[in-house]
Amino acid sequence: MSSLDDFSDILKVDEPLADYTWLKVGGPAQYLADPQSVEQLQSLVTRCHELDVPVRLLGGGSNLLVRDDGVSGVVIQLSAPCFSEISLEGTVVTASGGALLSNLISESVKAGLGGLEVLTGIPGTVGGALHGNAGGRGGDIGPLVKSVIVLTAKGEIFTRKEDELSFEYRKSSVNELVVLKAEFELQEVDTDELTQRIRKLWITKRSTQPLSHQSAGCIFKNPRGLSAGALIEQAGLKGTQVGGAEISDRHANFIVTNEKATADDVLRLIELIQTKVSDRFGVDLETEINIW
Ligand code: EPU
């Protein structure tokens, strides 16, 4: 891969990825890249495309399980400030894809803009939230999007407007390699009222989810009309352990890991859940987390 030499100042070789993920398990990336500008990101992606080197984008690491063998090719992180910008104009908020969703929510709320507060407590980046149409009981991010600027795996940049985008439950047409920027159309709402809504959401979340443990949030998508957590609980699986991975006692759709856990433990627990829930209820659970 000598032609990646031009990028040696932003590449780490054989970089362990576990600490970049919330589950804290998994192997290294052959290369971990930390581009410092959109131009540098674009030329790196273009070069990788020319060389046929696989490229993956690391978001907040909250919805990701990296296998113990790690990944070949280049993993890109967007830690430079230019990838985390947030700006407001009237009721429109613009965020870079690497910005934390929590920062986008707090900036909007401070400005008295409502809509995004339904995503309170969801970790990760704006780009990750758009890729998976992140959401919860209160609604999803998709309906708030006005436009996105994306960078494709071939290194092309283009804008997609609202009418060219589609969002479904934990699925979105924003599936290019990188979200560079996204615009959201929000509504004017009293800041105190928004703060109250956020407080209520946090109370519910704290009482129903194992927030103080290492986890990747919900592991499975909810099957249509059903709750994955309820099915796993009814299959009698709460508290089940494989190595250092355990099905949370608080919410059965969460797998929590301790310091001895491996990615293989988590994968075996995922398979065990899928088999038991399928045998018991005839329902195939589909993972919500990304597995590399
Ligand atoms: N339930 C159980 N046992 C459990 C867990 C849940 O019986 O162990 C029952 C609950 O009592 C409730 C129902 O299942 O009646 C639904 O549970 P909950 O309200 O916790 O919501 P969820 O559907 O499990 C979804 C999102 C969460 C989000 C919450 C709250 C998915 C897969 N999950 O969970 O998102 O935080 O709503 O808005 O859509 C995530 O995506 O990582 C995530 C955590």
Name which residue sits closest to atom 11 of ligand 1, judged by CA: 230
Q: Percentage of residues in the chain with pLDDT exceeding 70? A: 99
What spacing in Å lies between the alpha carbon of 39 and ligand 1's midpoint? Answer: 40
| Helix, strand, or coil (residue 175) | coil
Spatial separation of the C-alpha atoms in residues 253 and 209, rounded to whole Å: 9
What spacing in Å lies between the alpha carbon of 208 and ligand 1's midpoint? Answer: 8
* Range 147-163 average pLDDT: 97
Spatial separation of the C-alpha atoms in residues 127 and 181, rounded to whole Å: 8
Amino acid at 185: E
pLDDT band at 2 (very low <50, low <70, confident <90, very high): low
Q: What does 20-63 look like in DSSP terms, one character per residue?
A: GSSS----EEEEEE--SSHHHHHHHHHHHHHHT--EEEE-SSTT
| Helix, strand, or coil (residue 174) | coil
Cβ-count burial of 291 within 10 angstroms (0-12 exposed, 13-18 middle, 19+ buried)? Answer: middle
What spacing in Å lies between the alpha carbon of 17 and ligand 1's midpoint? Answer: 28
Name which residue sits closest to atom 43 of ligand 1, judged by CA: 218
Spatial separation of the C-alpha atoms in residues 249 and 208, rounded to whole Å: 10
- What's the pLDDT tens digit per position in 86-98? 999 999 999 999 9
Query: Would you state the structure tokens that stand for residue 214, as one six-digit string?
Result: 């290492």
Statement: residue 183 has pLDDT above 60:
yes
* Range 221-231 average pLDDT: 97
- What's the pLDDT tens digit per position in 94-116? 999 999 999 999 999 999 999 99
Q: Percentage of residues in the chain with pLDDT exceeding 90? A: 98
Give Cα 40 to chain centroid, integer Å.
23
* Range 122-135 average pLDDT: 96
What spacing in Å lies between the alpha carbon of 253 and ligand 1's midpoint? Answer: 7
Q: Which residues pair with 151 in a beta bridge?
A: 157, 178
What spacing in Å lies between the alpha carbon of 136 and ligand 1's midpoint? Answer: 8
Of ligand 1's listed atoms, the one at least distance from the Cα of 137 is 38
Q: In what order do the strands lie in the sheet with 28-33?
A: 11-16, 28-33, 71-77, 55-58
Query: Would you state the structure tokens that stand for residue 292, as one six-digit string?
Result: 């590399």
Of ligand 1's listed atoms, the one at least distance from the Cα of 232 is 8
What spacing in Å lies between the alpha carbon of 113 and ligand 1's midpoint? Answer: 26
Of all helices (H) and strands (E), which one includes residue 103? helix 101-110
Mutating to test ligand 1, I would choose from 137, 237, 246 the residue with most ligand atoms within 8 A of its C-beta, which is: 137
84-194 fold: 3.30.465
What spacing in Å lies between the alpha carbon of 227 and ligand 1's midpoint? Answer: 7
Q: What is the pTM of this model?
A: 0.95
- List ligand 1's pocket residues with C-beta within 6 A: 136-137, 208, 217-218, 221-222, 227-230, 233, 251-253, 288
* Range 229-255 average pLDDT: 98
What spacing in Å lies between the alpha carbon of 24 and ligand 1's midpoint? Answer: 23
* Range 236-260 average pLDDT: 98
Statement: residue 117 has pLDDT above 70:
yes
Give Cα 200 to chain centroid, integer Å.
23
pLDDT band at 171 (very low <50, low <70, confident <90, very high): very high
pLDDT of residue 155: 98
Spatial separation of the C-alpha atoms in residues 263 and 272, rounded to whole Å: 14
Spatial separation of the C-alpha atoms in residues 76 and 44, rounded to whole Å: 9
210-291 fold: 3.90.78
* Range 192-207 average pLDDT: 95
pLDDT of residue 281: 98
Of ligand 1's listed atoms, the one at least distance from the Cα of 121 is 36
Query: Can you give the residue ranges of every domain in the chain?
Result: 4-76, 84-194, 210-291
Name which residue sits closest to atom 3 of ligand 1, judged by CA: 230
pLDDT of residue 3: 85
* Mean of pLDDT over the chain: 96
pLDDT of residue 251: 98
Statement: residue 1 has pLDDT above 60:
no
pLDDT of residue 51: 97
Residue 29 CB contacts under 8 Å (≥ 6 apart), including other chains: 12, 14, 15, 17, 70, 71, 73, 74, 75
Of ligand 1's listed atoms, the one at least distance from the Cα of 220 is 32
Cβ-count burial of 247 within 10 angstroms (0-12 exposed, 13-18 middle, 19+ buried)? Answer: buried
Q: What CATH number labels 4-76?
A: 3.30.43.10
* Range 149-178 average pLDDT: 96
Statement: residue 181 has pLDDT above 60:
yes
pLDDT band at 137 (very low <50, low <70, confident <90, very high): confident
What spacing in Å lies between the alpha carbon of 205 and ligand 1's midpoint? Answer: 9
- Burial string for 128-152 (b: 16+ CB within 10 Å, else e) reads bbbbbbbbeeeebbbebbebbbbbb
Name which residue sits closest to atom 30 of ligand 1, judged by CA: 136
Query: Would you state the structure tokens that stand for residue 65, as one six-digit string?
Result: 């399980």
Mutating to test ligand 1, I would choose from 227, 246, 289 the residue with most ligand atoms within 8 A of its C-beta, which is: 227
In residues, how long is the chain? 292
- Nearest CA to 151 out of 251, 46, 277, 6 is that of 46
* Range 63-75 average pLDDT: 98
Spatial separation of the C-alpha atoms in residues 121 and 212, rounded to whole Å: 13
